[in-house]
Amino acid sequence: MMITIAKIIERIGGSVVSGSCAYSEADYIDNVVTDTRLLKAGGDYSHTAFVAVRGEVFDGNDFIGPAAVAGVFLIVAGTDEEKARRALSGAGRTIIVNCADTLKAYGAIAGIWRERLDVDVVGITGSVGKTTAKEFVFKAVSVLGPAAKTPKNHNNEIGVPAAILGIGPEIKYAVIEMGMRGRGQISFLASIARPRVGIITNIGTAHLELLGTKENTRLAKLEIAEKMGKNDFLLVNGDDRLLVEAGQVLKDTGKNEIPVIRTFGFGENCFFRAGNVTVAPGSTEFDLSIGGKFVQRVSLNVMGEHYVYGALAGIGAARACGASLKDIAKKVIPAVSSVSSDDTGRQQVYTLAKGTLIDDCYNASPEAVRAELRILKKLAGKGRKVAFLGDMLELGDLSAEEHRSMGRACAENGVDVCVCVGRLAAGIPGGVNEGAGTVFKLFPDSAKAAEAAADIVEKGDTVLVKGSHAMHMEVISARIKELFER
């Protein structure tokens, strides 16, 4: 596919500064980059655009010159015209468009690309479990036709447009993860991706530092439905009180066309429902019902009740994309059953010579930590249950209480030793009374906790390591693996 230069300029606005040759109505681009390192010497970039996006640690405008020298046809910049002209000196046909916001321009170009695609987009957002749900949904819709997904966790204002621009005309289903840091961001991403199926995994405690309340978080997540019509589908966690009210909240915001809302979860009123859940080492099983009718027993290749939500979201998305009940039973369920921890990139369970390690260092929220503590309880054998828990970030005013609640969760799940890592995690012991049965040890950072690990863990222990990504809990996991492998 191609987008004419004229269409881009019409959509993004801005002023045009030409090189030695102005553009014509026939000129087009079919490739967009934001990183000049992708422009290799000798390459043909006569139909490539470079968008000079400003990031947290870089400014694409500093690379206008190298992009022009590489032979890029169009440069979208956010700098003064004189600087742009100097950068274009001797750059041949390259033209440049100055605009006020290159990030929005990048999204607008991706939006044009999306308009020309014949694809069902499944958009996924939520406080916890987006990336895991994405993997289940991708496996589910892949059995219906050629599918694509956002790579890794590229779910922001740069990652989502890049994912959309990477979708070829042969793709029929695209699974797009949408993250956020505040109001308006999901709206921006949804305006680019225009999902026909939206999924909200939950309204948790993440983002409270920025949004203040769960109700505000709900409004931010529901922005995914802004561009959806009455024939589209919004799948929401039916066990989350705030999401059960999604339809009414959308009406209260003044939205005229409300998509079809379907719930998924464990509750009796959930449209896609999991019942009779059993968790065993390496697997999770449940009875699947759709619309109140039993379909079949489902066996997942991952351990933990929280994975069931991802599986239900995948099944629901496939159904919303047109899968028949026969397709669900014969194709979709085997596909979601094949999802492994390697796919999700999250929890890894290592059964080693001297103990078991549950390694889940990617991120942490109260909901996710509670889920892993339940797994620790299920997985532990005769040895002790040990949890290394790091700070949970971005919890705002609820941070102190949520950390104390982790102490109560440790006691409730029979954790023998809880190693609290970080300034916030130091408050975890405050949630339990003396004599609760859990011994607490405090360390200022992951490096100190890793150094002390040899004096804490014992042969036969089952150890959980969990904390926000910034806490670098992987240092502790690596040390415990080393100790258990000796």
The pLDDT assigned to 355 comes to: 94
**What phi-psi label fits residue 309: left (phi over 0), alpha (psi between -120 and 50 degrees) or beta?**
alpha
The pLDDT assigned to 460 comes to: 95
- Calpha distance 59→96 (Å, rounded): 16
**Domain boundary residue, one of 107, 132, 152:** 107
265 and 408 inside one domain: no
63 and 122 inside one domain: no
Nearest to 420 by CA among 395, 454, 444: 444
**Tens of pLDDT, residues 10-54:** 899 877 776 555 677 778 999 999 999 999 988 999 999 999 998
**Spacing of C-alpha 216 from chain mean position:** 19
User: Within 13 Å of residue 311, how many CA atoms lie on the same side as its CB?
Assistant: 34
Secondary structure of 356-385 in the HEC alphabet? EEEEECCCCCHHHHHHHHHHHHHHCCCCCE
For residue 414, being part of any structural domain is answered with: yes
The pLDDT assigned to 170 comes to: 96
Question: What count of other Cβ atoms lies within 10 Å of the Cβ of residue 94?
Answer: 26
pLDDT band at 212 (very low <50, low <70, confident <90, very high): confident
- CA geometry: angle 303, 233, 318, nearest 5 deg: 45
Whether the pLDDT of residue 189 is over 70: the answer is yes
**Which pair of tokens denotes residue 306?**
């929280």
CATH number at residue 462: 3.90.190.20
Q: What DSSP string describes 408-437?
A: HHHHHTT-SEEEEESTTGGGGGGGS-TTSS
For residue 112, being part of any structural domain is answered with: no
158 and 300 inside one domain: yes
Coil, strand or helix: which one is 162? helix
More confident: 307 or 94? 307
**Domain boundary residue, one of 81, 107, 133:** 107
- Calpha distance 174→45 (Å, rounded): 27
Residue 262, domain extent: 117-343
145 and 271 inside one domain: yes
Dihedral angle, C-alpha 263, 264, 268, 271, nearest 10 °: 60
pLDDT band at 364 (very low <50, low <70, confident <90, very high): confident
For residue 366, being part of any structural domain is answered with: yes
- Calpha distance 179→480 (Å, rounded): 32
220 and 363 inside one domain: no
CATH number at residue 100: 3.40.1390.10
The pLDDT assigned to 80 comes to: 65
Mean pLDDT of 266-293: 95
Nearest to 469 by CA among 400, 391, 403: 391
Give the phi and the psi of residue 168 in degrees, each rounded to 5.
Answer: -90, 165
Coil, strand or helix: which one is 183? coil
- Calpha distance 359→373 (Å, rounded): 12
The pLDDT assigned to 95 comes to: 82
For residue 31, being part of any structural domain is answered with: yes
The pLDDT assigned to 90 comes to: 54
Mean pLDDT of 440-447: 96
318 and 237 inside one domain: yes
Mean pLDDT of 359-377: 89
Coil, strand or helix: which one is 301? coil
**Domain boundary residue, one of 107, 133, 156:** 107
pLDDT band at 171 (very low <50, low <70, confident <90, very high): very high
Instruction: Report the range of poorest mean pLDDT among 51-55, 243-247, 329-333, 362-366.
Output: 362-366
Nearest to 62 by CA among 46, 78, 73: 78
**Which pair of tokens denotes residue 392?**
């949970």
Lay out the sheet containing 356-360: strands in order across.
Answer: 348-351, 356-360, 462-466, 385-390, 417-421, 439-443
For residue 199, being part of any structural domain is answered with: yes
Q: Compute the mean pLDDT over every residue in the chain, rounded to the nearest whole number.
A: 91
**Tens of pLDDT, residues 343-355:** 776 778 888 999 9
| Residue bearing tokens 């502790």 | 476
Mean pLDDT of 310-335: 98
pTM over 0.75: yes
Domain total of the chain: 3
